[in-house]
Amino acid sequence: MIEFLIILLIGLVAGVFVGLLPGLPAYIGPLILYPFVSHLSIDQILAIWLATHIGSQYFGSVAAILLKIPGEASSLIYIKDIDKLNSNERINLVRQTAWGSTIGSITSLLVIGVIYYLGLETELIQLSSTSVKLTLLTLLMITMCWFTDHKKTSYLLFFIGFFFSHKTIEDIPLWMHQMQRDYTFNITLFLLILAFLIIPEFINEIQKERKGDGLAIKSFIKEKLDFKSIFKGTWLGSLVGLVPGPSHILAAVVSYNSYNKKETKKKIISAESANNSAMITSLLPFLYIGIPITLSEFLLNDLLQVKLFLIPMAFTQPWPLFTHINFIEFSFLMIAIISLVYHFLAQRFLRYYETFLNLMYGKLKFLFLLLIGYLIYIDVTFSLVYILPYLMLLLILSYVGWVLYKRNVNVLPLIFGFLLGDLLTWTSYQFYQIYLS
């Protein structure tokens, strides 16, 4: 138990840092965990993942409101509105968004918990059959690409990712096996995430060299909580959270745009409530059907499969430390505890966060360089790749990733296509064997 509590504490600290520092996405947590997966138990992996996953959203808004520099992508939509608020309003907004995030998280948790305790998850698990899974995966791909600004490009990127994905089924055509052996051998998940997500963000950070607009935090006068805006964002986020891809960002945008231009504080409070509630409801298809719909969930699923822990059926197994609850109940418990801890931390120590942020913003490029170097080291150490071709491919794809980034093209469909490639191939093959052969 002591070891688990230490791991959870590490996850909480990591969640604060991932949220505060701009450009560090929620999926950084599972990426960093890869080298240590053999030394961690399932419950420890889940605890760290949930802590970084939830913390990135809580403290992204803290950074955005305190210094007008967004700690995570969903804060971008309201960053210009911060100029309209005075110091007292901004500090109060930190408090309001903390409450909104907590109420949104707990409400969404209650929704997926009610489904579980009423026994409805049994019906959902039936959706993991071969024919239904193939349908759901197809709908996942269509929906994910549809909610982008460049739909045709998104579909193309998805099929490129699918085409180059590593397929383990032996019955695929011989030419595909030869292609994997000769041309796509050095293409890995880490390489794609580095080239299309992290390195373009790193280049963007180098070019900005920005300084935060601090508050010189002192005492402030508390305002009444805007529960109407909080609950509006909560139910909107709970629905939008079921949309594949960056659902928490989409939820924040939908909730923000549901207000007129003059309702500045209401828009921000509602957007943050929607953001966090979407992050929790996005877990529903992952926990009950075994189909992740966000990149962070895909990476967690990959970590769990390394440990031979298969969702959804394995979530009914007892938790080793307390045998009277299973892993899905353990997940519910962790979400509640982590949300409450972050609720407290997001309203306290604001002066220290501001000091930390001011100290770190000039050094972000060094953090990104360390992160990129660390991920490359992990990839070449744990993947069977040739280093020179791997690095050359990384440079080429990073250039492509930067071009797509500058044109505001969402590259997640490509990453999802690569991740879903093997699963789609297997599911299609099983469907063919059962119904068509």
- Give per-residue pLDDT as tens, 204-246: 777 665 555 555 555 566 778 888 999 999 998 888 888 777 7
Q: Report helix, strand or coil for 26.
A: coil
Q: Report helix, strand or coil for 318.
A: strand
Q: Where are the chain's structural domains? A: 2-436
H-helix or E-strand spanning residue 32: helix 28-33
Q: What is the mean pLDDT of the chain?
A: 81
Provide the pLDDT for residue 397: 93
Whether the pLDDT of residue 142 is over 90: the answer is no
- Give per-residue pLDDT as tens, 349-403: 777 887 777 777 667 778 788 888 888 888 888 777 788 888 999 999 999 999 9
Provide the pLDDT for residue 212: 53
Q: Given pLDDT bands bounded at 50, 70 and 90, which one contains residue 134?
A: confident
Neighbouring residues of 213: CB distance < 8 A, sequence distance ≥ 6: 67, 68, 82
3-state secondary structure 264-314: HHHHHHHHHHHHHHHHHHCHHHHHHHCCCCCHHHHHHHHHHHHCCCCCCHH
pTM, full prediction:
0.83
Q: Which of 380, 432, 29, 411 is nearest to 196 (CA)?
A: 411
Whether the pLDDT of residue 140 is over 90: the answer is no
